[in-house]
Amino acid sequence: MNIEDQLIDLEIRLTHMDDTVEQLNQVVTAQQKTIDRLEHLIIKMAREHSEMKEQLAPDIVDSRPPHY
């Protein structure tokens, strides 16, 4: 294998690596969007849960039972 063949092989490998990195970047970006959306939903649900709990039973306090 001469130098030119080695250079061509390296260029091919680099091209494949660039493609792989781009694909991974797209996956990570999509996952981050999903994580952001889920975090937003969790915050919204927690807020709604708190509001519902206050409306349904404002006098009930979440505390440990006396035997703890």
The amino acid sitting at 34 is: T
Of 65, 38, 60, nearest to 50 by C-alpha is 60
pTM above 0.75, yes or no: no
Cα–Cα distance between 49 and 29 in angstroms, integer?
Answer: 30
CA diameter of the chain: 83
How many CA atoms lie less than 13 Å away from 34 in the CB half-sphere?
Answer: 6
pLDDT digits (tens, 9 = 90+) for 9-57: 999 999 999 999 999 999 999 999 999 999 999 999 999 998 888 887 7
- At residue 45, the pLDDT reads 97
Quickly list H helices, the chain.
3-56
